[in-house]
Amino acid sequence: MSDTKAILAIAKKTIETEAEAILHLSSLLNDDFANTVECIRQSKGRVIISGIGKSAIIASKIVATLNSTGTPSIFMHAADAIHGDLGTVQKDDVVICISKSGNTAEIKMLVPLIKRGKNKLIGMTGSPDSFLASQADYLLNTHVKKEACPNNLAPTTSTTAQLVIGDALAICLLELKGFSSKDFAKYHPGGSLGKKLYLRVGDIANYNEIPQVHSSSDVKTVILEISEKMLGATAVIEDNKIAGIITDGDIRRMLNKYDNINGLTAKDIMSPSPKTIAEDVLAVKALQLMQSKNISQLLVVKGDNYKGIVHLHNLIKEGIL
């Protein structure tokens, strides 16, 4: 077998092993999972998630997912917790401890301290007979038959299972809380996902030049306006209203059509009834309109007033496309 075939065979076996384990997780869901979701939903505090080793890394990711979907959460490393960080846990907080074996020394030290504080304790473990499972108010069973590691040692399938159960918790809470796309945008203002949900056409157009010519302007004036404003187009204004648009393409078509351009005006070469978009419309809607009409610019308006141009390149720069 060539190296390429061997590598692909190992990769496929890894994916298939983990996929089989993930599918098996659904059969492990029970009332404890539903009770965990309700416990977190009704809690007046936060979700504190703790673990050690690879489980700690998974705990951090679950915390990030919960925070971004409207459930306030904090990561607390199990080793640090027993050396001072236990003060992170407040009266109304719900604590989730993640451990494959459920029997590590740190977990055995941490769990009684959490129980002493009378916080609800959720155990996420692949060992239903473990110390953690026996002490938890609710058990999230993440048992897997084997790791993807050929030695059945390196946490691979087991951490994937933990991650999936964490996602299931987050999505259940999201739906039960009615967490909307607007809420999502509030927590993701800086990323491209957030921009698609809150960035509006006017937010972009306000930073652009506002190219415009009168319908009676000569061709030289039109070309200079398009070149200087660097948006590949200019609006044509007549009686203080938008009469049309002239793009780079219109200029090329004019040169192909006319041998003599002397005497031509903007009105002679413009495209009437240009596509416009209101400045308060989401930028992603501008992208959809450009794609559907196979165009690169839209004239931005506020009511009947021309406010500028939004270009496809603006949307690319902002990460909308």
* Residues flagged as binding site: 77
Structure tokens given for 258: 């006319």
Q: Could you say which DSSP state residue 88 is in? A: G
Q: Could you say which DSSP state residue 262 is in? A: T
Handedness of CA 278, 281, 286, 292 (dihedral sign): negative
Are 137 and 40 in contact, with CB atoms under 8 Å apart?
no
Binding positions for Zn(2+) are 77
Residue type, 187: Y
**Closest to 118 in 3D by CA, of 133, 103, 137, 102:** 137
Distance separating alpha carbons of residues 134 and 115, to the nearest angstrom:
12
Backbone angles phi, psi at 168, to 5 degrees: -60, -40
Q: Which residues contact 286 (CB under 8 A, 6 or more apart)?
A: 201, 277, 298, 310, 315
Are 173 and 160 in contact, with CB atoms under 8 Å apart?
no
Q: Please state, in angstroms and as integers, the Cα–Cα distance from residue 158 to each residue in 29, 138, 171, 243, 319, following that order.
A: 16, 19, 20, 64, 35
Task: Tell me the three state secondary structure of residue 30.
Answer: coil
Are 269 and 254 in contact, with CB atoms under 8 Å apart?
yes
